[in-house]
Structure 1
């Protein structure tokens, strides 16, 4: 059976290093904070550049919440988020009383569309959360120009893209950046975990306080915060995996290139009109390929072929965020409710992607050649 993310094979390869690191933590009696967490934060900072502060926390979602609290988000403030992504960015805004405004995406790259961002800016807009979706960096040059013009902050959601590179490293574009260490991420631990990154010393100090009950010192609570800590065992695991991250990312990119070559050949000879086009990766971007995502004209037909070939797949994401029950509101145009025909004619990029995007296994321990042979037999 092919795994979507082969964590078992990864652990087997690094078993000696991982077990040694795990024993050291268990034998130390220091399970929260301490030298392992401090060492990991230093190594994460060095990976991104020594002027970048790295602060770990309990999850990527916590990291987003802490980032928004650091930016003093107040009830009624608006934050622009992509409509096609995981719910966390919009959810965290809403939980703090803010109002998420949903920007459309580019249909080829699947990243947030700066033109859509511009249209959403109002007097209540405070910032933008840009997601590095599927491991590719969002269009930060254009987003930064917009943010500077309108005096907005940018939070970079790099939950899927720690280790990506373009003009600079992912996790260094935003005023604050976050990542997730969920096990299936390119850099994952054995449970939940996350981190925040910033070059701003004042932000870094505030982030640390918020994550520690708003405390800068024992029983001295300067602001209302939360309890969000990465435990020492997860830090030890991440320190081992961080050493191997770049070599794994090379393999992920090689795997993606094999898929690219296969689908380019397939689209040249397709006879049923059902093209399968890979997500466009912008020139110069070294994507982490958190997953390998394609856009299938007839996704259901493709799924049936994947099932017949016993190839695992995932659908990210089956509906735009503003279509989720917790956010959905009636859509009106010029004061009139839209008909189904009008809705189809005005379909957004996010709606289109939610109907066509599907992801395939691509991790460094996936035999993509085997998957391609299985695909050839069923496409």
Structure 2
């Protein structure tokens, strides 16, 4: 049995009738941009996120960049970002002319460390950009408190967290929250796409202007901007998938629980934590292993596909080699350790029980003889901690 990391086409096969009807509806309409499907999806996704406005754009990176631009963040400004994240978080900041300022996460690797965030602030800091990594919410309240004390904006990167909740609040219900609809996401299109969800009508209107060449009226351009528009086909696909999102997230959670209970006792790996204040959606299931690369090679030979999220921290990427945001090895030690030890196992709403059991058996077998995973306090990382 070969087990793919993710079967991206399975969602279409489950919803073939609904998606085919949606695509035919758009094809027959002759209206392919900024029309009824987009408006309907924006309304539906805003309601799903318990917020007032959704503005859909061309990608998750565009959603972050246009969010910052809508807040007038640009050259000379600084935005605090995680050192452990996909580089797209950083690139969105750089695209505005602002500078990403990186800090390490908390020891569980899930959130910006508030103490390090506070220490990283300067008179140029304009915003914090927490990432809801792997589908697990960042610990927002301490970061919002810091932002409130210093007059900073908070732009949430929720590219991996469609449907997650933080202390009962839906991710997406915040001030400015950016999503991606890349095909592999929990809510994925059949192409690229993204959206900004906000309760601020001014921010929403500004992003609508920025996504459409700075124009509200054809051939009248108010500001220099770009075009970044979610097309009608992708909006229609997302509308077909949105009603299934919670059910698909529940399937992911079931697989994550199965993995955690079976792999938690394996001394060579650490399984993910769930914070007591979080309801994650398990975009990724990321274990840690001191001999990660050897474990991955063994799993590949056993027919289990895995991915590494993310092997090169942004501050060590050649993209930032000549930038002040780049930094030498050892600057962000926890992020560098996560880059060297993290391994993502197959996970998705259509991963079958037999496949999940096969992944567990393969990981247990492949771990034999590898070095035990060291934890700071000698304790195992549990899958779920007691809810408060």
Q: Which residue pairs with 2:335 in the alignment?
A: 350
**In structure 2, what is the Cα distance between the partners aligned to 1:330 and 1:32?**
37
Listed as ranges, the matches of 1:119-138 within 5 Å are: 119-138=119-138
Q: Which residue pairs with 1:244 in the alignment?
A: 244
**8 Å Cα contact 1:309/1:375 also seen in 2:** no
**In structure 2, what is the Cα distance between the partners aligned to 1:26 and 1:347?**
50
Q: Which residue pairs with 2:44 in the alignment?
A: 43
**In structure 1, what is the Cα distance between the partners aligned to 2:179 and 2:61?**
9
Q: Which residue pairs with 2:22 in the alignment?
A: 21
Shift of residue 219 of structure 1?
2.6
**In structure 1, what is the Cα distance between the partners aligned to 2:360 and 2:249?**
20
Is 1:370 the equivalent of 2:361? Answer: no
Shift of residue 354 of structure 1?
0.7
**8 Å Cα contact 2:80/2:103 also seen in 1:** yes
| SS at structure 2 position matched to 1:265 | coil
Of 218-227 and 66-75, more deviation after overlay is shown by: 218-227
1:308 pairs with 291, 296, 301, which one? 301
**8 Å Cα contact 1:136/1:164 also seen in 2:** yes
- After superposition, what is the alpha-carbon deviation per residue over 1:80-122, rounded to whole angstroms, capped at 9, x for unaligned? 1111111112112222221111111123143221111111100
Q: Which residue pairs with 1:285 in the alignment?
A: 278
> Structure 1 residues 375, 302: CA separation in 2 closer, same or farther (over 3 Å shift)?
same
**In structure 2, what is the Cα distance between the partners aligned to 1:370 and 1:116?**
41
Shift of residue 305 of structure 1?
2.2
**In structure 1, what is the Cα distance between the partners aligned to 2:109 and 2:357?**
25
**In structure 1, what is the Cα distance between the partners aligned to 2:238 and 2:74?**
34
2:315 pairs with 298, 322, 327, which one? 322
Shift of residue 33 of structure 1?
1.9
**8 Å Cα contact 2:159/2:181 also seen in 1:** yes
| SS at structure 1 position matched to 2:9 | helix
**8 Å Cα contact 1:110/1:353 also seen in 2:** no
Q: Which residue pairs with 2:224 in the alignment?
A: 224
Q: Which residue pairs with 2:151 in the alignment?
A: 151
> Structure 1 residues 226, 247: CA separation in 2 closer, same or farther (over 3 Å shift)?
same
Shift of residue 350 of structure 1?
0.6
**In structure 2, what is the Cα distance between the partners aligned to 1:182 and 1:369?**
28
Shift of residue 373 of structure 1?
3.0
Shift of residue 377 of structure 1?
4.1
Of 306-315 and 102-111, more deviation after overlay is shown by: 102-111
**In structure 2, what is the Cα distance between the partners aligned to 1:366 and 1:291?**
13
**In structure 1, what is the Cα distance between the partners aligned to 2:112 and 2:129?**
9
Shift of residue 52 of structure 1?
2.2
**8 Å Cα contact 1:78/1:124 also seen in 2:** yes
**In structure 2, what is the Cα distance between the partners aligned to 1:236 and 1:210?**
23
- Structure 2, unmatched stretches of 5+, are 368-388
Q: What is the RMSD of the two structures over their aligned residues, measured on CA atoms? A: 1.8
Listed as ranges, the matches of 1:1-379 within 5 Å are: 1-49=2-50, 51-167=51-167, 168-173=169-174, 175-267=175-267, 275-328=268-321, 348-367=333-352, 368-379=356-367
Shift of residue 330 of structure 1?
10
**8 Å Cα contact 1:85/1:320 also seen in 2:** yes
TM-score, with structure 2 as normaliser: 0.89
- Structure 1, unmatched stretches of 5+, are 268-274, 332-336
| SS at structure 1 position matched to 2:155 | strand
| SS at structure 1 position matched to 2:80 | strand
**In structure 2, what is the Cα distance between the partners aligned to 1:280 and 1:115?**
21
> Structure 1 residues 330, 210: CA separation in 2 closer, same or farther (over 3 Å shift)?
closer
Shift of residue 301 of structure 1?
2.5
**8 Å Cα contact 2:110/2:136 also seen in 1:** no
> Structure 1 residues 115, 124: CA separation in 2 closer, same or farther (over 3 Å shift)?
same
